[in-house]
Structure 1
């Protein structure tokens, strides 16, 4: 007897993976001190001119970044909500530092899609307002990836 495919496994394996990140960047200031001042566990910094990961590309600005672990979801808004909730206790401090140091704020939603399974681009009004509170831009990238598992 032929074994039926595990549909639940296929659905989980092919669900888009979204990485949500919040970045502060500056061409004038190094941002290492934000690790202490903001104090969000898992935040990282980089310096202008450093290599990007294992590429030959170099960073064009100094930066500070907080990124959530990748999550499988069909809703970009779910990943964004998680990011904004993690930042919320530090919002006033981040906004004050952004203004005082004239930093650029960015929200990034990078998505790996598998086959033709694309997440919805809906963003709730509350999340759009929250992004505006930070004075942040919003960028999205979509990458076609091979399913694993």
Structure 2
């Protein structure tokens, strides 16, 4: 029994980590007012020129909401959760994108161990929803060696 539990634990630990985010960016407009306007929990904003990390300087103003990192092999699940969280404010977000000429971006940031790569599949419903926002979609994968 202990042996199978160890295998199960190892498999869970090798499952990829996925963090989904939705960003709005602008070269011309500050976006800090969107945090209160949209009222999306956990949203944050930044200004052009601010630094992130050690030396990365922001090239645009921005607003972002990010889901906590989760273990999954299905990137579409993380995308669905993000879009579901934004759904109650979708019309307001789309109106802001159009009126302020904002750029919308969805990012799926993936950390994998060894060759445990998740499925890069996105459902037609999620692609249609991304199209409503006019959002780009990126999936970046960082690989760490297997233990």
TM interval, shorter chain, is: over 0.9
SS of the aligned residue for 1:4 comes to: helix
Aligned partner of 1:106 in structure 2 is 105
| Structure 1 residue 71 displacement after superposition | 0.7
In structure 1, runs of 5+ residues without a counterpart are none
In structure 2, runs of 5+ residues without a counterpart are none
- Paired with 2:90 and 2:83, the residues of 1 have a C-alpha distance of 9
Aligned partner of 1:74 in structure 2 is 73
When you count helix as a share of all residues, which structure comes out higher? 2
Instruction: Give the structure-1-normalised TM-score.
Output: 0.93
- Please list, as runs of the form range in 1=range in 2, the aligned pairs for 1:32-111 lying within 5 A after superposition: 32-52=32-52, 54-111=53-110
| Structure 1 residue 74 displacement after superposition | 0.3
- Would you identify which runs of 4 or more consecutive aligned residues in structure 1 move more than 6 Å? none
CA RMSD across the alignment: 1.5
- Paired with 2:31 and 2:98, the residues of 1 have a C-alpha distance of 14
